[in-house]
Chain A
Amino acid sequence: MSVLVYTENWDGKFKKLTHEIVSFAAAIAKETNSTVTALSIGHVDTEELKTLGNYGANKVLDVQDDRFESLDNKALADAVAKAAQAENAEIIIFAHNNEGKAVAPRVSVKLDAGMVSGVTGLPVNFEPFTVKKKVFTGKAFANVVIKTGVKVITFAQNSFEIVENPVDVTIETFDPQIPDSEFVTKVLETNKITGKVLLTDAEIVVSGGRGMKGPENWGGLEELADLLGAGLACSRPVSDEGWRSHEEHVGQTGKIIAPNLYFAFGISGAIQHLGGVSSSKFIVAVNKDPEAPIFEAADYGIVGDVFKVIPQFIEAVKEMKAAN
């Protein structure tokens, strides 16, 4: 029996998210006396594949097949289901993100498995298998029983500590033998940035709102983000005004992120914005309005002028780095 993890990479390196899910899978495998198999579809070299052993993967199935680059949902689901069958997997875990949401439901039908999405931690019970998830867009939690033998879950990022727990890992080439006729999605055009921190996978995110007053004032945020190795984000009005690209818009209707640390400068914290960032471990808010709702969601706050605070933050981070 095994727990199968669907992994994701960015420019050939596994995402932090994948380390988190493999750690999570290892904890489940321990409870259920099974092993962890990670499925890697794409161009990841052997050295990188082996790193999954550090987080508890016993085996990595390596699928190197360019046809999957079109992310054809039907073909991908077929490949994952075949891997699950080959590995006698009882639990299949995806991330609760674009790719996971696209493929997991299809896999659940193929394997006659019950599925729960957006799981926020280890099962609260194994008999019957019960998991917790957010419902009503974060206003409540539900405990959900999966009644089938095989189970599919999508895992909400930042719900589990990454654990380094090295085990021996074997790398196996895996060919799911999907015929060409299955790949019907044709990519006509791709617009993609590379070589930058992926916003949805960033540990720290520095974000600006309308309180930044204009695109010409972003220099301080960029400098702070650079110093921290952070991703840059913005609120909806900022991207609607065209101050920053839509790629950076976080919120319920933009990207949903869950970094360890989220800086909100000049963001009032409308419920739609909070819907996209409330899973952050820590939120720091700087806003001139003491009544801004962002302070209800924040862990640390300053009521004041962003333009007076940002330079002090930059200085403090430089001092902290110099001291370490």
Chain B
Amino acid sequence: MRTLRSLLILLVLALLAAPASAVAPALIEKLALGEYDDKIAALNELLGSGDESALDFLQALHDGSVQVAGGKQVLIVKDNAGIDAASGKSLSPLPPEREDVMVNNRLRRELASAIAGLRLASSKRDTRLAAAKALQNGADEEMLPLVSRALAKESDPDIKNLLTLLAATMQLQSKDAATRLAAAKALASSSNPNTKALLLAVLEKKGDAYAEPDAAVRAEAQSSLKALESRLSTGDRFGQLFTGASLGSILLLAALGLAITYGLMGVINMAHGELIMVGAYSTYVVQNLFRAQAPDLFDWYLAAAVPAAFATAALVGMALERSVIRFLYGRPLETLLATWGISLILIQAARTLFGAQNVQVENPVWMSGGITILSNIVLPYNRIVIIVFAFAVLLAVWLLLTRTRLGLFVRAVTQNRAMASCVGVPTARVDTWAFGLGSGIAGLAGCALSQIGNVGPDLGQSYIVDSFMVVVLGGVGQLAGTVYAALGLGMANKFLEGLSGAVLAKIAILAFIIVFIQKRPQGLFALKGRMAEG
């Protein structure tokens, strides 16, 4: 009864009011103060009327910026400024006794589709396109009149396509067989995974009878389903390629530094993982500095974090080289043990300085979210950025090694230390610089890893075995070895993961490397000559 009365009131108001500056107070009250069922009922009313003026309020409700003062007055609060939702008047000062209006998932979902539905009638093309895309995730049948109305008024071809598909998904359940047939046919051009479920439901068999009585509709649905599935599987394959490339780029960043130091000094640095951790923690520190000192520039903290991570890790690496590693020259096995000891110290130092808990590193805004391809694959921005970053680092290292003096010395010492020393290359200093370079690259890897995973004292431990495998597989003759090994292992790992799960994939990769090393102990790209002798 009460619902009907509100509906009448609303209709009257809608008829009488000119472009309203606010929504009916009764509806606002219901949306803010009522039980969840009442809220949804009020929402459906708004939808039915297509009243655009409610958009501000609905958006605020969705974002959680609606508060109730004194149990009665409904406010929209943004940045300490309040507007009364019913009258539209701004309020200052804000009343002190305010309570948040809590929204749960179900309400948020309804709000999201209601907002999108109302936005379909906007005058701006971009808003309409965004709204149409948002509705692809599933809209209820109640939206059909709204969608049909928008479709009738729409002139833009992209939006028209989306709306047609949307209408088709809703019309699949229509009472009229001809409508259903047309809908099934229209859905052939869809690439929305949600549509697959709808088409499958049409073809479902309950006992002996089909859910869909009309055979023509079923045939149409079948062919649409086939088209949809082939489109989806292309998307899946592309997604798999991307995940492989993403993992490969991370392995590349992690292993590049190790390859350089191992190639140069024959030292496997067991503390390499901890240098990655040092880079990640420096990113955290830079992030905190930005948050405290320059919150407006927070989104660009990475620009400072990247050089900071490189510098800190490089300094730590050089310190290690000068203090411990250089004295173990010529004793690779001892170096292994000593660097393992260093890694334990670094881990415990991180725990003492920053606590045993993980620390929070936030993605800047431009790295959150992803781009949607083919409507079923989302490529996260942070992973795209990391792939690009990895190749940028690779390019920089290659330029350094081939075009600079230091690079020349590094290559000389790697190929024949004794001869290089005779010719006048300061091998000790080259060692230090090269170790610094390798450690710095590890720091960069840490900076990248902080954006996609945990930052904690044990960060390095999870990447050390992988880095070793890449170096062992790729050999230390050229950078290309590391690149091929990293990308190859990444792709292979992801491909196997799809087949048999993450653990077995990893075990298979390890087994493969162990066997590969028997056949070709020096790796893919090895130095020619007698360097291979341990």
Chains A and B bind each other:
no
Chain A positions within 8 Å of B, measured between CB atoms, are: none
